[in-house]
Structure 1
């Protein structure tokens, strides 16, 4: 049922959870976080001396204390409430919609137009905010960035790529990545994601859960001008499209 959870919805849940976690540290003097750390010390000491009776007692006291501390955190309570609400909403929808089965005909295969692409290093490192390449012509420079929240849009049609390998490396936490690649450019893309979806030149991954993949166009190894894309993201979608 949770495969119906959209990436944007999951991103908002993660962002709100992080905000609640920060609020608990800043305004509630750590809240239950320090209690959880204290219980963790009890668990460690008890485990080291678990062969003795007092070690067993300390270990299980720490385990119970850690469980209670975690369940009383604002962020954890929010995640539990969000999961319960989502479950009931999706259950209500499933009762109305019913299941749809799409048969796969013999000899029928999904048409893959052109495998993979990625590019850039024209961005600053930003924790928050969206970023995109200029809508007018710009000089190409390799991209190696990391960020926390926001979308990244890279349009390679407005620049002249070098007769070499153009590099795009993006490490991100929450947000979407979109890359537009000219038709005549060969590309290679290596993407890893904890949660999200991928649409790569006609190839679709609709439910990425702690996965990685690598695609490249057929002429990539022999091409003089080519683009190498390496991306990693905690939660978000990636789309590579010809333009």
Structure 2
């Protein structure tokens, strides 16, 4: 998410936060420094004597006091609001432009110098597949917000079993699988819906869905899909 912002934008946010901090200390809350220093003294002596009961009490009283003092600062509230706004903007942008994964395969193994995943682990931000051919590697994705699209129509799966693992927070998962590929799916969701080929589940509430094509154990190629979302739908269809 931060990669979307220019350096000037980040600097502007930090400058505004610093100005708010100075204004609060000078004009609105002069006791802020005293409160932080007083709590810091509690934490210092508590940490120095942390093995004793009274030391633990002093330390945690000071720590809780510092936490709430910082949380009540205008500058911190401003940064929290900016962070939440950026999170929402990034989410709606990702809904308009979901990530699409179209893995492909190279014919000459000598072209590949090292084993690298199809996608890197990223919580926020856009990500696209490479613009060159590469060998198949099992997909293991940790996601935050937005839709995820896995398209297997442009790859050659391995002879044994391909694995796709997606752990996602909020957003929909779309998986496109060629007709000749057998598939086993294990999906869990705290809240959402499932549409796996002909199977439909209109409401998932902290439930798990399992689906397997009839010839999965005997025919190849085949792919094993394991997904989990906090809130979102899963769609699996043939292409």
| TM superposition score normalised by structure 1 | 0.48
User: Who wins on radius of gyration, i.e. which is larger?
Assistant: 2
